[in-house]
Amino acid sequence: MDLTSLRSHNDRTVLGLVRSGALSRASIAEEAGLTPQAVSKIVARLVEAGLVEETGAVREGGRGKPRMSLRLAAGGAHAYGAYVDRDELRVVRLDLTGEVVSSDVVPLAPMFTPDDVLAALAPLVSAEEKVLGLGIGIAGPLDFAGGVVSPNGLPGWDSVPLRALAEERLGLPVVVDKDTNAAVLAEAWRRPLEDAALVFVGTGLGAGFLLGGEVHRGARSGAGEFGHTTIQLDGPLCVCGRRGCVEAVHAASSGVEAARVLGAAVRNLVQLLDLDQIVLSGRKVLESPELYLRAMPDVDVSLSSYGPDLVPVGAGLLVLGELF
């Protein structure tokens, strides 16, 4: 789907306002600081492209001349999102509103290769006209700009050009980001987050940061390797090759003690970055949420509003989000 003509700043602003519930052309003009004529032209383009639809006349505030109300056309564009976990591949297809329209999960055998992942992805992803692309979430470290990954805990994956390989194999645009960045994006799609960390405890342990409302990737897209901060000198060996990382100490503990380990590490994080919101997510947390919630520092702590589709949804939003 070629939407390059619809990616101007004003087009994205208008589309974002339609998404956030701005009902009519007049209210969009007011919110965006654009002239009604400019908004009419942009809306006409968005309707033409099938991204926005008219839903009928409404009287805003119950008075005055009825105005044609607008909403996103859910089926106007789609994006795929994938999560390459250490033992399985999850793939979702999102509509333009970010809702999951289909979801698949396939196991990945131990020591799986990049080619195994591409072979598993191929039947789950189709390069149709309305599909904008595929986002892939995977463990770090990785190079976000180049789409090259060297994930901890996946033996043999060293400097794999995953984005280029996937684009060639699947025939659609691909974006690759850390699983934790995808996850925090997914949460921010549903609710306002400003200075927040999404702490993800699954087969690995990491964090995605929103600072000042923007995803923080750092100078070499290495931000968020929270699981590999040392909390116990000479502690257990970690998948990253060092000892005593949060991830390794947490994995070597269980129950209340594991939750306490995470609580101490999150407390350090909150102090370091002056965060006011922590979102807990991932399989391990979902197994015993109360235990983890009780161990957290005294800031706004909540559980992720997504189930196991958190990372793949966020990965799909990396693609879909370019429209807004």
Name the DSSP class of 230.
B
- d(CA 163, CA 170) in angstroms, rounded, equals 10
- d(CA 11, CA 5) in angstroms, rounded, equals 9
Which single residue is written with the structure tokens 């509103």?
A: 97
Q: Establish if 250 lies at the interface with Zn ion (CB under 5 A).
A: no
Residue 179 annotated among the catalytic residues of the structure: yes
Q: Is there a contact between 220 and 213 (Cβ–Cβ < 8 Å)?
A: no
- d(CA 193, CA 63) in angstroms, rounded, equals 34
Between 99 and 158, CB nearer to Zn ion: 158
Name the DSSP class of 173.
-
SS3 92: strand
Q: Are strands 196-201 and 78-84 parallel, antiparallel or unpaired?
A: unpaired
Q: Tell me which amino acid residue 260 is.
A: R
> Which of 179, 234, 300, 309 is an active site residue?
179
Q: Quick one: which H or E segment has residue 84? A: strand 78-84
Which of 40, 38, 6, 13 shows the shortest CA–CA distance to 25? Answer: 40
Which of 214, 221, 223, 217 shows the shortest CA–CA distance to 194? Answer: 214
Which residues in 207-246 contact Zn ion (CB under 5 A)? Answer: 228, 238, 240, 245
Q: Tell me which amino acid residue 144 is.
A: F
Structure tokens at 287: 């197994």
Between 94 and 238, CB nearer to Zn ion: 238
- d(CA 288, CA 234) in angstroms, rounded, equals 28
Binding site for Zn ion (CB under 5 A): 228, 238, 240, 245
> Active-site positions?
179
